[in-house]
């Protein structure tokens, strides 16, 4: 959307849901604008509930601030600075002109997209976050915090999956250190992040998230907390462990997950065949009874499969035809 100047003529200082739906959507599209928090009171309560240590020493990097309720809450609990990345033109103009303004010292809003890999390269420049690199993973990064409200749909799912994988690989934001995170996660995406072994939604994302950090649910939105009214979000905290629970080579572990979870309701004794011709030989090399359903496998059990697979001389030579463009750069 390209507009040189917008007039936000709302009955009150903050738009109603109907006013929001009309003013912030792309005029060429019939879909609603990207979901956003709409309750400043809820935002502030949830920011406090995170119990962030020494916020006055921290910079918060926020993705997709929307109407800015979460941004203001982060500022109000005492963050040293909040850097907000808002790619949508109308939201960006709203934040710049109506919420914070040119005299605001603690909040900086940039028209950038956290979905783009190049964004993190820009953020690592010295005038943003580049001087805050802390490679000591024995402690949680004392000066940074990563947060935001993830878009619904495929885009939000890809982002969250990449973020948890980047903790293990120490890439993107986590090339700067062991950074605590808290994201507002859409309802449909939430079980893919939080499911444990044995649950129906168990998948690569929940396995990797459990392996790389402590995952806690802080809050589930209620009617009036977000626009649109039908939107349900969960605030989830992810604090990286000092060391990932995945010991196998990352590419091998990823290959094993990708193939086994094509058939999550199948016994491992059958699903192991998806790893390659003759892979059944690996069953006898595992330090546990392989008569278990794929979605019941623990992180340690999956890790053992990947380690034994990597040691197998007859494993496929090429594990991935196309590497993940986000993680390969």
Binding-site entries for S-adenosyl-L-methionine: 37, 86, 113
- Which residue positions form the known binding site? 37, 86, 113
CA dist 326 to 28, 172, 251, 254, 323, Å? 30, 9, 14, 14, 9
CA distances in angstroms from 289 to 268, 285, 293, 301, 305, listed in the order given = 10, 10, 11, 10, 12
DSSP three-state, residue 242: coil
Q: Distance between CA atoms of 201 and 85, rounded to whole angstroms?
A: 30
Q: Where are the alpha helices (DSSP H) in 3-147?
A: 17-23, 40-49, 69-76, 89-94, 117-123
Dmax (CA) for the chain in angstroms is 70
Residue 189 makes CB contacts below 8 A (sequence gap 6+) with: 150, 152, 156, 157, 160
Which residues make Cβ contacts (< 8 Å) with residue 263, sequence separation at least 6? 270, 271, 274, 294
Residue 21 and residue 227 in contact, taking contact as beta carbons nearer than 8 Å:
yes
Residue 6's Cβ-count burial label (10 Å; 0-12, 13-18, 19+) is middle
């Amino acid at each position: 959307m390209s507009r040189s100047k917008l007039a936000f003529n709302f009955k009150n200082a903050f738009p109603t849901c109907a006013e929001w739906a009309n003013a912030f959507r792309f005029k060429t599209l019939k879909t609603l604008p990207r979901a956003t928090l709409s309750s400043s009171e809820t935002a502030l309560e949830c920011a406090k509930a995170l119990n962030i240590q020494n916020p006055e020493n921290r910079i918060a990097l926020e993705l997709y601030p929307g109407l800015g309720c979460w941004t203001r809450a982060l500022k109000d609990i005492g963050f040293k600075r909040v850097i907000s990345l808002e790619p949508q033109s109308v939201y960006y103009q709203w934040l710049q002109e109506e919420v914070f303004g040119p005299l605001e010292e603690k909040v900086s809003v940039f028209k950038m997209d956290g979905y783009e890999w190049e964004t993190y390269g820009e953020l690592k420049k010295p005038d943003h976050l580049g001087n805050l690199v802390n490679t000591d993973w024995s402690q949680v990064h004392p000066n940074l915090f990563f947060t935001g409200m993830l878009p619904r749909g495929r885009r939000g799912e890809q982002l969250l999956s990449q973020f948890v994988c980047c903790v293990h690989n120490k890439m993107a934001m986590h090339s700067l250190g062991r950074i605590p995170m808290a994201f507002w996660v859409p309802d449909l995406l939430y079980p893919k992040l939080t499911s444990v072994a044995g649950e129906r939604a168990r998948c690569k994302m929940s396995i990797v998230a459990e392996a790389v950090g402590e995952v806690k649910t802080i809050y589930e939105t209620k009617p009036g907390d977000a626009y649109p009214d039908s939107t349900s979000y969960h605030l989830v905290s992810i604090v990286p462990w000092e060391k990932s629970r995945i010991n196998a080579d990352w590419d091998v572990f990823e290959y094993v997950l990708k193939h086994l979870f094509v058939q999550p309701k199948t016994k491992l004794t059958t699903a192991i065949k998806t790893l390659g011709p003759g892979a059944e030989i690996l069953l006898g090399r595992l330090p546990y009874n392989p008569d278990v359903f794929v979605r019941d496998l623990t992180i340690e059990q999956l890790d053992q499969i990947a380690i034994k697979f990597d040691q197998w001389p007859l494993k496929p030579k090429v594990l991935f035809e196309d590497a993940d463009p986000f993680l390969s750069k």
